[in-house]
Amino acid sequence: MNRFAPSGFLRDIGTRWDVLAFIVVIGLIVFLGETSRGLFAPLSQLDIVPLSLDPIHLPEYAARTTFRMLAGLALSLVFTLTYATWAAKSERAGKLLVPILDILQSVPILGFISITVVFFMSLAPGRVLGAEFAAIFAIFTSQAWNMAFSFYQSLRTIPIELMEAAESFRLSPWMRFWQLEVPFGMPALIWNMMMSMSGGWFFVVASESISVGHTTVALPGVGSYIALAIAQKNLVAIGWAIVTMLIVILLYDQLLFRPLVAWADRFRVEQEPGVRVPDSWALTMMRRSRLIQAATVAFHAAVLWTSRAVKRTDAPTAAAVAAPKRRSLDLLWVVVLVAAVVAGLWHIVWVLIKHTSLREAVQVGGLATLTMLRVFILIALASLVWVPIGVWVGMRPRAAQIVQPIAQFMAAFPANLLFPIAVYGIVAWKLNPDIYLSPLMILGTQWYILFNVIVGAASIPTDLKEAAANLGMRKWLLWRRLILPAVFPAYVTGGLTASGGAWNASVVTEVVNWGTTTLTATGIGAYIAQQTTAGDHPRIALGIAVMSLYVVVLNRTLWTRLYRYAQAHLALE
């Protein structure tokens, strides 16, 4: 043993990490306790203790908003690992589940809130808990779809040699999921979790300050604080909100996402020698703490126990026995699917025919066309800007570590905080709101393209880069033969989610309020926002139905074909 490193000293170092881990864990428990305080209080308590723009309340508001964001992220992760896996592994189910995912990501946050707020409020009548359920669900709808698409794309593009290796090791489907599929999709999933967390910040105002018809609830949080500051035209309060957001984003970057990125680096298929491995002090603490090591061992034991509990079904006799059962499940699936489609169509047609006219539906279609043109132009411009930047960052791990927190903050920056600048500029220079409100739509969604391209560029195999260098590929030839084909699958995922996010953001950005001044752009987003404020549920349903129809048609005619091309191209690699 090295005399300069006695065992007592090592034990002392381990104890220090245990103390630090203990402090973090206790701090987390206290955080959960403080943020959950008052969940079962009556809703009237929100009126008795109204929101205040005094910055002294911002730590509490930030804690409660962060709790909702993390709860939504946890639900999104569970949804991703189940829904995306089902869609990727079942060809029959995928034909329905992927279009449903397209529709769900096109439904605006206000649409979900207007439809579900009564249901969630009824779960805890007269209690704050019901409003919390509604807010967390709204945040979930701003996070889940991006993560699900990312994991689905990863499962569909697992290299054949890795699948063959899993077969040679005779892994059960359960162990293959945890030993191959989840690790393979983990790097991209973590980057999209960061993007989803930031996307939740973008819609936090709509999720915490709920106003549907005669129902108005303002939960304590940063989103409600921003909404109140906008209503009172208080620029100082908006400045305090920006500072608070920056601090919170830096905290969960250091305590959550930076450790996850460093931990997931082990799952990269290609490990390039000489490249600096991402590190994190929080991850080092977890690895060196004996308390957390004990929890990790217990988790691994649980996974192994479940793997033994799940029996293999790859034997010929088992497959023969399972065939009739599988046919019965397929028949049941078809019956349930047909019944759901018939019931859904009947309800939609009945509501729309009873309360709206064909002429109004055509007018709403025209509004959707205008919004679609904005989305096309903005996605094209964002791609021209962020694809080269994403490639440059992704091929330089050190730059990625620097860019990560900056991009998170920019992605989390709510468009609402730019309303004062937008309103002042448009009114002062008498500009056209239809044109100059449009950039607000892409403000929070363009980062989907950047994050996914970074992941795609970072995963370019080392041998391909070395081969390109040996062949003397430069500039456009290098981009055409190596870089663009390599990042294309990731770009499709980013472009798809960015497009859906832009449609979603149109509800927030086509009607802009600053105090008593309101600017409105012509589009389906403004239509849905106005009908939500009026509490006109049939017309809310009409706007959502038309928007979803446009998104599904675009995804089927454009993004699905790009997905297929990406899969075919990757298979050729």
* Secondary structure string (H, E, C) spanning 313-355: CCCHHHHHHHHHHHHHHHHHHHHHHHHHHHHHHHHHHHHHHHH
Task: Kindly state whether residue 15 falls inside one of the protein's structural domains.
Answer: no
State residue 22's pLDDT score.
61
Task: Kindly state whether residue 332 falls inside one of the protein's structural domains.
Answer: no
Residue 457 scores a pLDDT above 80: yes
Contacts of 68 (CB under 8 A, 6+ apart): 132, 135, 136, 139, 207, 208, 221
Mean pLDDT of 80-84: 93
Contacts of 462 (CB under 8 A, 6+ apart): 270, 272, 273
Percent of residues, the chain, with pLDDT higher than 70: 79
Task: Kindly state whether residue 307 falls inside one of the protein's structural domains.
Answer: no
Residue 31 scores a pLDDT above 70: no
Question: In terms of residue numbers, what domain contains 64?
Answer: 38-285+356-572
Task: Kindly state whether residue 190 falls inside one of the protein's structural domains.
Answer: yes
Predicted confidence band of residue 215 (pLDDT cuts 50, 70, 90): low
Model confidence over 126-160: pLDDT tens digits? 788 888 888 899 899 888 988 998 899 889 888 88
Model confidence over 355-373: pLDDT tens digits? 788 889 899 999 999 999 9
Residue 571 scores a pLDDT above 50: no
CATH code (residue 149): 1.10.3720.10
Task: Kindly state whether residue 398 falls inside one of the protein's structural domains.
Answer: yes
- In the DSSP assignment, the letter for residue 535 is T
Task: Kindly state whether residue 317 falls inside one of the protein's structural domains.
Answer: no
Task: Kindly state whether residue 336 falls inside one of the protein's structural domains.
Answer: no
Residue 317 scores a pLDDT above 60: no
State residue 572's pLDDT score.
40
Which 3-state string (H, E, C) describes 4-41?
Answer: CCCHHHHHHHHHHHHHHHHHHHHHHHHHHHHHHCCCCC
State residue 4's pLDDT score.
42
Question: How many domains does the chain divide into?
Answer: 1
Task: Kindly state whether residue 7 falls inside one of the protein's structural domains.
Answer: no
